[in-house]
Amino acid sequence: MDLELLKELCDTPGVPGLEDEIAKIVQNNILNLCQSHEIDAMGNNIFTVNKKIEKAPTILVDAHMDEVGFLVSNIENNGMIRVIALGGIDPKLFYGQRLTIWGKKAIEATVAAIPPHISNKSDAITQVEDCIIDTGLKDKDVLKFINIGDQITFSTNCEIGYDRVLSKALDDRVGLFVLIEAVKVLSKKKLNCNFTVSASVQEEMGLRGARIINSKVNPDFSIALEGTVSNDLLGVPSYKSLASLDNGPEIRISDKYLIADRKLNSFIESIAKKKKIPYQLTAKNAGGTNSTAFQVTGNGSKATVLSVPVRYLHSPSSICKIKDIKNTISLLVEIVTKINTFKNV
């Protein structure tokens, strides 16, 4: 695995609607491995990996390019900045954080925090839109470098080592990394299916990009690659831990918006067992992925989700394990290689 690529994906900004730099990284890594490439009106990147095989099944594998983040919404007269959140951000995680504002140049800033010895402990949590972002720059310099609409991300760099990854944006840069690494392997194989991959946009804003991909690809099968919630922490009951680190990829049975295709899931399980790839099943009624859109738009498809477990999702510093990433790539490669043997019985 090219772990420097994973670091590049995580450290590059790309909030919903501003995924262009991430798209360039994807293109640089797999464009020359694919038969065709298309960018649709919304900015989804769709790659046809192998030459079309008549009467063979079509499988679509997707990972979204966007990360949760913020947009500059207002610049006060004194140079202080207001923002809006893009995606699910817990206000408790926002207060006092370091941020990077990606304006005409990258400007570091902080979410203003009241010193504890003068704060009112009974104060309610301040919502993201009401917080003040302080660059420490003079107002004229703020206006020189920063405009309304500039994207903002958490100011944390990806750290890889000790069999773990510590980074912002693992949702879903880790899924995007799995997709790229799998394409590198599968592009060299003689496949018995039509293999298409998409690097989609604006998932964090309601699966917006994925909603128009199915009509173009018309897949028989679809898999959304994700970084999924792992809550395997001390004090958390096992039934609330969801996916656990070190136990392999999650095969999702359900979430708030999806009931995955059970026959496809069983097919994937059988492959994992045969190849001795660890995996875990989760059934929950929270969260959602592009798999929902792939299942019910266009002509629909047999859809599921394959995920790398990640602690502290949508925070400045999430954690996942390298061996879980490796096992997710291995399982995905086996699925695509054998999808032509799927029997709908």
Is residue 226 annotated as part of the catalytic site, yes or no? no
pTM of the full structure: 0.95
Output the pLDDT for position 116.
Answer: 63
Pairing of strands 69-75, 151-154: antiparallel
**Bridge partners (DSSP) listed for residue 222:** 60, 303
Domains and CATH numbers, the chain: 3-67+168-341 (3.40.630.10), 69-154 (2.40.30.40)
**How far is 191 from 193, CA to CA, in rounded Å?**
6
Alpha helices in 76-138 (DSSP H): 91-94
CB 250 within 8 A of CB 279: yes
Q: Which residue carries 């995920």 as its tokens?
A: 307
pLDDT at residue 178 in the model: 98
Question: Position of tokens 């402990």?
Answer: 121
- Listed as ranges, residues in the chain with pLDDT below 70 are 115-123, 345
> Within 10 Å of residue 40's Cβ, how many Cβ atoms?
16
Among the options 19, 67, 203, 226, which is catalytic? 203
Contacts 24+ apart (CB under 8 A), 114-120: none
d(CA 204, CA 201): 8
Q: How far does the chain reach from its first CA to its final CA, in angstroms?
A: 36
Cβ atoms of 83 and 133 within 8 Å: the answer is yes
- Tell me the C-alpha distance between 319 and 333, whole Å: 24
Strand pairing partners for 38? Answer: 46
Residues 6+ apart with CB under 8 A from 65: 14, 19, 22, 23, 26, 45, 172, 176, 199, 200, 201
| pLDDT for res 122 | 61
Task: State the Cα–Cα distance between residues 10 and 185, nearest whole angstrom.
Answer: 22
Look at residue 308 in the predicted model and tell me its pLDDT.
98
Q: Can you say how many angstroms the Cα of residue 196 is from the centroid of all Cα atoms in its chain?
A: 18
